[in-house]
Amino acid sequence: MTDKNFMVDNSTRTDLFSPIKLGEIELANRIVMAPLTRGRMNEEGVPNDLNITYYIQRASAGLIISEATNISAQGRGYAKTPGIWTEDQIAGWKKITDAVHSASGKIVMQLWHVGRCSHVDLQPNGEAPVAPSAIKADGNSYTNNGIVEVSMPRALKIDEIPNIVEQYRHAAECAKRAGFDGVEIHSANNYLLEQFLRDSTNHRTDQYGGSIANRARLILEVVEAVTNVWGDGRVGIRLSPITTEVGNTPLDSNVMETYGYLIQQLNKFKLAYLHFVEGITGKSRSVPEGVDLNALRSLFDGAYIGNNNYDLEIAISRRAEGKVDAVAFGRPFISNPDLVDRLRYGIELAHASIETHYGNGEKGYIDWPKANSFHIESSCSKS
């Protein structure tokens, strides 16, 4: 199948295909591959040859953001997802980063702790998932026994929180050893860090709850720990101020004030970029009344990556208006490993059915063909 929503006149002028520098990371173009959970790892979370092929096929993206990667056994919320806390995981990822670099690509790792969005079958010793407060998510998890309702979490004790920060620090160090160009802190989609930030999921009364500053405290401690490992300009962060995914999670009671405070505090860390989910993740770009995402974006001093249901027309428009520095495409990269060329030369995109998104081995993972040279030459001749 093809998707004509991405078709534009290839005479359109845009700098989306020109180089850009995000912090200290130099990109060949402004097309970013968004993190895509694909469920193709083994139970130990160690990358394999299939994963190497998948990533090298997509190395023409200006930047690849890896699929969300668990920072610890406690951080897991879905079976067959990768990790970055063991020596075997480091070695597996090193093969991927070497392959991407050999193809002149750039890749950062997304660091992930799901918090309450997990199931006891995925947790060490069958323990309850951890969260800022003992509030159950409304959603499912994928285990080796199939799709199951998430488990009731337990609230983290105050003396356990430094270990959460240490998990992120250790994972950042492991990612550096694995040869990544940087890391992205996953503070979006209502996983652990965003669970601490929102007053809908954080009912604590200690120094990590209550005020906006207290609820933002863990995120800022994690960012400090990770940037201490990587230095300036090689750490990004992903935020999703108005998404209800995952877990059908309510928004914070004051989106603008809460996320505005956080973004201004992030500026002191000289991050490589801010990666924003503009709307409800994977569903809608609509914005609730009283929220101005452009105003939030303007508070950030560094580069901005826009994400969520972009097509090329939206990307060109928002880039021309100076509202994005780069654009992250997710699902189109699943079925179009050469997405950058297809967008650049106006070649129709293949469309992947949802059945191919998770699991299934090679099928729907590494068997998508690239556009041949005839397609590209024909498109160029028309420009």
**Lookup result for tokens 């090298």:** 56
Tokens 């709850």 belong to residue? 209
Residue spans of beta strands (DSSP E) within 243-375: 273-277, 303-307, 326-329, 349-350
Specify whether the backbone of 189 is left (phi greater than 0), alpha (psi in -120 to 50) or beta: left
Q: How far is 30 from 22, CA to CA, in rounded Å?
A: 10
d(CA 364, CA 330): 15
Contact 156, 147 (CB under 8 A): no
What does the alpha-carbon distance between residue 307 and residue 330 come to, in Å, rounded to a whole number? 8
Question: What is the CB-side half-sphere exposure of residue 252 using CA atoms within 13 A?
Answer: 31
What is the residue type of 336? N
Answer for the pair 192, 131: CB distance below 8 angstroms, yes or no.
yes
The Cα–Cα gap between 35 and 299 comes to 24
Length of the chain: 383
Residue 215 to residue 262: CA distance in whole angstroms:
10
CA dihedral for 22, 25, 30, 34, sign (positive or negative) = negative
Active-site residue, from 191, 304, 310, 365: 191
What per-residue string of b and e applies to 252-280 under the rule 16 or more CB within 10 Å gives b? beebeebbbbbbebbeebbbbbbbbbbbb
Amino acid letter, residue 74: Q
* Catalytic (active site) residue 191: yes
- 3-state class (DSSP) for residue 320: helix
Mind telling me the catalytic residues?
Answer: 191
